[in-house]
Structure 1
Amino acid sequence: MQRLIARLNIDPYLLLLVSTVALASVLPARGVFADIAGGVVDAGIALLFFLHGAKLSREAILDGARAWKLHLSVASLTFVLFPLIGLAISSIPGLGPELAMGLMFLTLLPSTVQSSIAFTAIAGGNVAAAVCSASFSNLAGIFLTPLLTALLITGKQGGFSTDPVVAISLQLLLPFLFGQALRPWIGSFVTRHKKVLGYVDRGSILLVVYTAFGAAVLEGLWSEVTPSELGLIAGLSLAMLALVLMAAVLMGRVLGFSREDRIVLVFCGSKKSLATGVPLASVLFASSQVGAIVLPLMFFHQIQLMVCAVLARRFAKAG
């Protein structure tokens, strides 16, 4: 089974996510247990961003700031081109309103960190720049994603509101800053135990997915989402990724980036973060909506890993 998963480029964590969705579909959290699970999720999200703050080196931020042209290029793909594509495809007929919101929300998220760096390294790109660019993207996403969500999604339903920004600041930004403040004392511990702490990272996401899908199932999610909608989400995700990848390659050539920096632009500019997106969705949307809204993100997450794994090997062979 492990060999088959590796051969198909399937992320084992995706299997855990699918299993969590299945569990939530059969045994959703109800009553008092739902209240307890919600409290645990809130604590887990705060811990997640606290650890992100503790892991991010200030020296890496300062060193990477020199490549501002590359970082701005990645940001333009992540927070400008992606949302423009999202506006175009979220109105395509055949999707329910919450799935359409999910596709739009997907395009507003920051880049991934771990997989962007890993694929850049495999392809022979500028790893230091990838670390900085992906980290900057996630920092910017704490502010830009809720703002863009308010402007392009929730603002259409009831007027623009700063409430999502306030919620993000209290639940995500404060723990992140607290982790940064404590980094001189706990940074080495976090670095030494990053594998163990990674389980906390991923476990928090699984908890959010379980509670979100459980709430959505109780609201009738699976009676509303059709197989044709799931197929349409997969097809749109693949098309969206292809457009951004082509734009990244073209932008890298036009701006005259080195081969190493073009690789960074391709892998950091084309991804969307599941680790950041799921907690953000749980804060920005009603609990009954979150399950449907993160469904497109789960599809895109696996598609981007499979496609980028192939691209990374091709970059490496081309030298």
Structure 2
Amino acid sequence: MSNSSAAPRPPFLTDPMIAVLLIATALALLVPAAGEARAAATMVSNAGIFVLFLVNGMRIRRSEIARGLANWRYFGPLMLFVFGAMVLLGLGFARLADNLLPPLVALGFLYLGCLPSTVQSATSYTSLANGNVALSVVGAALINIAGVLVSGPLFAFVGGGAAGDIGGEAIGRIFLILVLPFAIGQAVQDRFIDKLIAHKATAAWLDRAVIGIAVYVAFSGAVEQGLGAMFTLMDWAMIGVLVLAMLGAALAAAWGTAGAMRLARADRIAFLFAGSQKSVAIGAPLAAILFPPASAGFVIAPLLLYHLAQLVLAAPLAMRLARGT
């Protein structure tokens, strides 16, 4: 029998990012970078983040940004949902987790809520669900650009004293390592975008490598601070339960908001995935800039579990939506 009519494999089954995150975490647990090695790894991570956002600036077309800004009736509410409703949701779960988990891990739920959505997986699942892919691509790109600018300051503002020493120096690092290279990439985009498109697979592995290094550095610091001794299996189970609950609430809120806006079904599907999914591609590098290595690993723990959960659970959801149910 021919396999030509077989259903497509869910993206999470073929997503190399899962393997990269698992390998980076395992290496940090087994061979954590400490002392001078960690300082060197941090410098490599920051350099990689600079290059990554330079490339991102080159490959996100200015025309896509202009199209998104013109469609403000869709993207305005989407921005408010991602950087408003999701932030409040993260704040609520952070307060709940504060009674159950170490303070830095609880703070990680607020950090998770302040992050932008994904680009690749939100678009993949929108396509799998027969949603408006063009709207998803532009929406996720705009949200990521906004996230580079607002996620750090938004987290510092909402977190207040709990956010620690995030102030002018951290915001300056965000500008130098994230915003500046992205702006340079946009300025020189016309010279390089065709080459980037031709080497799309190489650029994708740059993303994964930089994120993997950032996760490795973050978890190395956490391991040095006694991550293994501080966390029991029950603690990890509790983080997992809270992450699943937050993801479920995010999906329900995004679908309900899109319904209240009376969007067409294809547009509603795009809103669902762009609104509820969170980006480890922004979250891990940003954490490496905002937090010292000793703290970053604890803060991004909810993000890594959320990223894995959204990939696994979005697949059956997308297939169900594709069947019209």
CA gap 1:98/1:179 in 2 versus in 1, 3 angstroms: same
- List runs of 5+ in structure 1 lacking aligned partners: none
User: Deviation at 1:300?
Assistant: 0.2
Pair 1:218-2:224 in alignment: yes
The 8 Å contact of residues 243 and 306 in structure 2, kept in 1 or not, is answered as yes
Residue 28 of structure 1 is aligned with which of 29, 32, 35? Answer: 32
Tell me the secondary structure at the aligned position of residue 122 of structure 2: helix
Residue 258 of structure 1 is aligned with which of 264, 282, 295? Answer: 264
1:64-213 superposed matches below 5 A = 64-92=68-96, 93-153=99-159, 155-156=161-162, 161-213=167-219
Q: Deviation per CA, 1:106-130, whole angstroms, max 9, x where unpaired?
A: 1110000001111111111111111
The 8 Å contact of residues 61 and 132 in structure 1, kept in 2 or not, is answered as yes
User: Deviation at 1:12?
Assistant: 4.0
2:14, 2:241 → 1: CA distance?
A: 18
The 8 Å contact of residues 17 and 209 in structure 1, kept in 2 or not, is answered as yes
The 8 Å contact of residues 215 and 291 in structure 1, kept in 2 or not, is answered as yes
Query: Counterpart in 2 of 1:302?
Result: 308
1:239, 1:88 → 2: CA distance?
A: 12
2:177, 2:71 → 1: CA distance?
A: 31
Tell me the secondary structure at the aligned position of residue 300 of structure 2: helix
CA gap 1:158/1:198 in 2 versus in 1, 3 angstroms: closer
**Which letter maps to 1:198?**
A
User: Deviation at 1:11?
Assistant: 4.3
Q: Deviation per CA, 1:15-47, whole angstroms, max 9, x where unpaired?
A: 331222111111111333222212111110101
**Which letter maps to 2:76?**
L
CA gap 1:265/1:244 in 2 versus in 1, 3 angstroms: same
1:263, 1:248 → 2: CA distance?
A: 9
2:148, 2:11 → 1: CA distance?
A: 35
CA gap 1:75/1:8 in 2 versus in 1, 3 angstroms: closer
Q: Deviation per CA, 1:232-284, whole angstroms, max 9, x where unpaired?
A: 11111111111121122222222111111101110100010001000000111
User: Deviation at 1:9?
Assistant: 4.4
2:136, 2:307 → 1: CA distance?
A: 19
1:11, 1:251 → 2: CA distance?
A: 29
Alignment length, in residue pairs?
Answer: 315
The 8 Å contact of residues 147 and 164 in structure 1, kept in 2 or not, is answered as no
- TM-score, scaled to structure 1: 0.93
Pair 1:37-2:44 in alignment: no
Residue 62 of structure 2 is aligned with which of 58, 65, 82? Answer: 58
- TM-score, scaled to structure 2: 0.91
The 8 Å contact of residues 65 and 132 in structure 1, kept in 2 or not, is answered as no
2:318, 2:197 → 1: CA distance?
A: 26
Higher mean Cα deviation, 134-143 or 6-15? 6-15
User: Deviation at 1:80?
Assistant: 1.0
The 8 Å contact of residues 112 and 134 in structure 1, kept in 2 or not, is answered as yes
1:78, 1:211 → 2: CA distance?
A: 27
Q: Deviation per CA, 1:94-150, whole angstroms, max 9, x where unpaired?
A: 110111111111111000000111111111111111111101111111121111121
Tell me the secondary structure at the aligned position of residue 251 of structure 2: helix
User: Deviation at 1:77?
Assistant: 2.0
CA gap 1:155/1:146 in 2 versus in 1, 3 angstroms: farther
CA gap 1:73/1:282 in 2 versus in 1, 3 angstroms: same
The 8 Å contact of residues 11 and 302 in structure 1, kept in 2 or not, is answered as no
Pair 1:49-2:49 in alignment: no
- List runs of 5+ in structure 2 lacking aligned partners: 1-8
User: Deviation at 1:158?
Assistant: 5.4
1:294, 1:157 → 2: CA distance?
A: 13
1:279-318 superposed matches below 5 A = 279-318=285-324
1:120, 1:26 → 2: CA distance?
A: 37
CA gap 1:283/1:158 in 2 versus in 1, 3 angstroms: closer
